[in-house]
Chain A
Amino acid sequence: MRRSPRPAPSGATAAARRRRAVAIALALLLPAIARAQGAGAPPAPPALDPAARAAVERIVDSARAAGLPTEPLELKAVEGAAKGAAGPRVVEVVRALAAALRASRAALGPGATAAELTAGAGAIQAGVDPAAMRRLQSAAGGRPVTVPLVVLADLVARGVPAPGASSVLVRLARSGASDEVLTRLRADVVRDITAGVPAATALSGRLRADGLAPDGAPTAPRAPGTSTPPR
């Protein structure tokens, strides 16, 4: 058992107290929800008006019937309530997410995990073309595409043009680039953008600096100490 000398509470009892407190709080806030898959229904949005809550439940039910993951939708409603959004707005946002999940599943296929589907929905909402997502999945050769999709969505959200970013990630995936490599690349590109490099050229600029061609293929051998290329 690892002891913590910090003044803040820690340890198994604190964790258990926290768990109980949250469970009680949620139970008090939670009306009976008619349907739930398996043990433990997700909490209803605590501050949503009844009409909005009912509308969200309808969206969740039809997503469930379509075989889509429902937890992201429920969590989005909870998030909206936590941020004090008005009922109609929450419903609109949940509906948009359901549509994005549907499009994500159409692109990634029924074998995709919930994490991949949610990451795909995020990418679609950020402006990534579903056809590019399909190419990315195919290039990844069976590896999960959660991280590549998250990285792609992030780059596009920061202003890197979507077609270019997509094709770079597809090439990197095909060459076997690990999640680590993609994560590091993303952090480097974002640092460059923050430092003033235009987003439109930040990705290709970073690839060149790392000794890669604009499409992600290795070019020259790297000097020792610089970042490693994709596998």
Chain B
Amino acid sequence: MPAPDLTDAQAVARVLDGDRDAFRVLADRHYARCLRYARRALGNRLDAEDAVQETFLRAYDALGRYEERQRFTAWLFRILVNECRAAAARRGRRDGPLAPDGDAIEQAAAPAAPDAGWRDAVERAVAALEPLLREAFLLRYVEDLGYAEMQAITGAGTSALKMRVKRACDALRARLEEEPSNV
């Protein structure tokens, strides 16, 4: 079992040398974060899980093209964001617009956490954003990516991305300021 404190680049190198199990280091390290993004990009956990699985498999196949100078997170997120976009497009053709109903039911059944009302409000507000605004907001404010990385990930220019982030923040702020659970 490879040492868990391998750097991302070291783990990649080990996989390329033939140690497939070393890929687990990368999966363990980055899975939760990818799921965090995908869940909001796609609106429900099931679709998110599929997208994240697909992302990691594609990343595995493409591992030979990862270059140490890039941050692995940013490289992985390019695959993830595109996978989420493709999944949303497929679902859009199938189901219609984003429908987080599955999760709403899940949350209603779960025991209420202290700030559950606020968290639900935030989730709804994010889900209500236009897809590109939501994407930019999540990458910038939740995943802490830089604009240069976001440009490489999304293909959009930096000023377009900044505009999207600003509009997303304005929309979220407007919605959340009226929220009763915003104490």
Q: Touching in the complex, A and B, CB below 8 A?
A: yes
Q: Do B3 and A67 touch (CB < 8 A)?
A: yes
Q: Do A65 and B3 touch (CB < 8 A)?
A: yes
On whether A110 and B13 interact (CB within 8 A), knowing A142-B144, A142-B145, the answer reads no
Report if B27 contacts A (CB, 8 A). Answer: no
Q: Do A114 and B146 touch (CB < 8 A)?
A: no
Whole-angstrom distance between the alpha carbons of A65 and B6 in the complex?
8
One of B7, B71, B143, B149 near A69 (C-beta < 8 A): B7
Residue-wise interface mask of A (108-141) relative to B, using a CB-CB cutoff of 8 A (1 in contact, 0 not): 0011111101000000000000000000000001
One of B6, B29, B70, B144 near A67 (C-beta < 8 A): B6
Closest A residue, CB atoms, query B148: A143
Secondary structure type dominating chain B contacts: loop
Of residues 1 through 27 on chain B, the ones whose CB sits less than 8 Å from some CB of chain A are 3, 5-10, 13-14, 16-17
Report if A38 contacts B (CB, 8 A). Answer: yes
On whether A37 and B17 interact (CB within 8 A), knowing A67-B7, A113-B69, A144-B71, the answer reads yes
Report if B72 contacts A (CB, 8 A). Answer: yes
Closest A residue, CB atoms, query B2: A67
Closest B residue, CB atoms, query A146: B69
Closest B residue, CB atoms, query A70: B10
Q: Interface size for chain B: under 10, 10 to 19, 20 to 34, or 35 or more residues? A: 20 to 34
Report if B151 contacts A (CB, 8 A). Answer: no
Whole-angstrom distance between the alpha carbons of A206 and B8 in the complex?
38
Closest-CB distance, B64 to chain A (whole angstroms): 10
Q: Do A67 and B145 touch (CB < 8 A)?
A: no
Closest A residue, CB atoms, query B143: A142
Report if A1 contacts B (CB, 8 A). Answer: no
Contacts of B154 in A (CB 8 A): none
One of B9, B143, B145 near A114 (C-beta < 8 A): B9
Closest A residue, CB atoms, query B13: A37
Whole-angstrom distance between the alpha carbons of A110 and B72 in the complex?
11
Report if B73 contacts A (CB, 8 A). Answer: yes
Q: Do A69 and B16 touch (CB < 8 A)?
A: no
Q: Do B10 and A67 touch (CB < 8 A)?
A: yes
Closest-CB distance, A201 to chain B (whole angstroms): 32
Q: Do A38 and B146 touch (CB < 8 A)?
A: no
Contacts of B146 in A (CB 8 A): 141-143
Closest-CB distance, B148 to chain A (whole angstroms): 7
Report if A186 contacts B (CB, 8 A). Answer: no
Contacts of A110 in B (CB 8 A): 5-8, 29
Contacts of A66 in B (CB 8 A): 3, 5
Residue-wise interface mask of B (16-46) relative to A, using a CB-CB cutoff of 8 A (1 in contact, 0 not): 1100000000000100000000000000000
Contacts of A53 in B (CB 8 A): none
Q: Do B145 and A113 touch (CB < 8 A)?
A: no
One of B3, B5, B17 near A38 (C-beta < 8 A): B17
Closest B residue, CB atoms, query A143: B146
Whole-angstrom distance between the alpha carbons of A99 and B145 in the complex?
30
Of residues 59 through 77 on chain A, the ones whose CB sits less than 8 Å from some CB of chain B are 64-69
Contacts of A115 in B (CB 8 A): 68-69
On whether A141 and B144 interact (CB within 8 A), knowing A37-B17, A38-B17, the answer reads yes
Contacts of B29 in A (CB 8 A): 110-111
26 A-B pairs with C-beta separation under 8 A: A37-B14, A37-B17, A38-B13, A38-B17, A65-B3, A66-B3, A66-B5, A67-B5, A67-B6, A67-B7, A105-B5, A110-B5, A110-B7, A110-B29, A111-B7, A111-B8, A111-B72, A112-B7, A113-B71, A114-B7, A114-B9, A117-B7, A142-B73, A142-B143, A142-B145, A143-B148
| Interchain residue pairs A-B with the least CB separation, the first 6 | A67-B6, A143-B146, A142-B144, A67-B10, A142-B145, A142-B146
**What residues of chain A have their CB less than 8 Å away from a CB belonging to chain B?**
37-38, 64-69, 105, 110-115, 117, 141-144
